Amino acid sequence: MSNLTDKQKQPAQAASEVPEAVIPAESTNSSNPSEKLDRSSALVILGLDEKANAYAIDNRFWQLTKRYRAEKNDDKLKLVTAAYEVASGRAAERQAEQIVDNQGKKFIGKSIRQWKVSLYYSWWKILAVLLCVFLGASLAYQMITGGNYDIKVVSIGHFAVDNTFLTDYSVDKLGYKKPYISSADLVIDGSEAENNATIYGAAAAASFLGIEPDVIIFDAKTMPYYLTTVTDLDSFYAYLQENLPQVLLDQIKPVTGTMKQYKELTAEEGDEVLISPDDEIEHIYGLQISDPELIHALGYTNEWMSQKDSLIFSICATSKDITKAEAFITSILRNQNIIAQEYEAANSSDPASTSAVS
């Protein structure tokens, strides 16, 4: 049995009927019906009395707009909307704001209130423009001057990166005076939710590739989409097999691929993929490490929800000093156990981590 009283049922019943006889005829022909309505006539159109409160007005408006949208009755929908604007006081608020805007001082064509509203809703666009300007200026400077960097290492993938270790390692262990270490966080295939960092990740990655980096570090999910930006490591991996202990080689996975796989992966749906005989030849394009401790020690935190920790070291196809890039990767891989051990020792001696464990 329903417990609703007749008074509680009234709004739903009234929602099914708009009192046609009392709707001003001229209001349906006006481009802005609210200009010809006062609060009393607006309430009549909504089927409410003078004592209707804000809740009743909002509720009736929702009921009527739902009905007229279903009926595709644009004229009634427009009139009910105008009546709601007047009955709720929003039309009066807008008129008051318009008067203040018209009478107040203007700054580049807008009042202070209009600038506040504009900035509130478009701050992220302004930030994006400033970021693009900064990246563009930085990229232009580096392309013109070369940046005077000893070595350029960029990371592209869905990870958070603290560049401190790689920067210090490049200076203290490898003797570089001015290394360039940077990263772009992106969700390459759109399979996971974007955030403020990843939404501009692809643009940042394109900018970094424009400076002709020496080493590119990917995650396993991202790397196949950038196959054309790296050179094959067939001979370099053969060198590592001859010069690194087997215990270290066992921790390195050569990442192979073909241009056929890349073309099929990146082709738009319905596009014809043209494959040449050379596209089917498999090459090594990266060297992967998967030890979480080592990855964290290098300053990387995996942001993928569905992917395990991984880093893939590659050499950019446009690097101007491949020997330098090979030396950088070799040093990291040769010292990978030492790097992980030092990181673990530093964490175990950290008072914060010790108290957390205890």
pLDDT digits (tens, 9 = 90+) for 141-189: 555 555 689 999 999 999 999 999 999 999 999 999 999 999 999 999 8
pTM for the full predicted model: 0.60
- The model's pLDDT over 59-114, given as tens digits with 9 standing for 90+, comes to 888 888 888 888 888 888 888 888 888 888 776 666 655 655 555 565 555 656 55
Q: How far apart are CA 203 and CA 194, in angstroms?
A: 14
pLDDT at residue 316 tops 70 = yes
Which residues are within 8 A (CB) of 240 and not within 5 positions of it... i.e. 6 or more apart? Answer: 249, 252, 287, 330, 333
Question: 252 CB contacts (<8 Å, ≥6 apart)?
Answer: 240, 244, 287, 288, 289, 333
**Which architecture, in CATH terms, is 149-347?**
3-Layer(aba) Sandwich (3.40)
HSE-CB of 183 using CA atoms within 13 angstroms: 23
Number of residues written out for the chain: 358
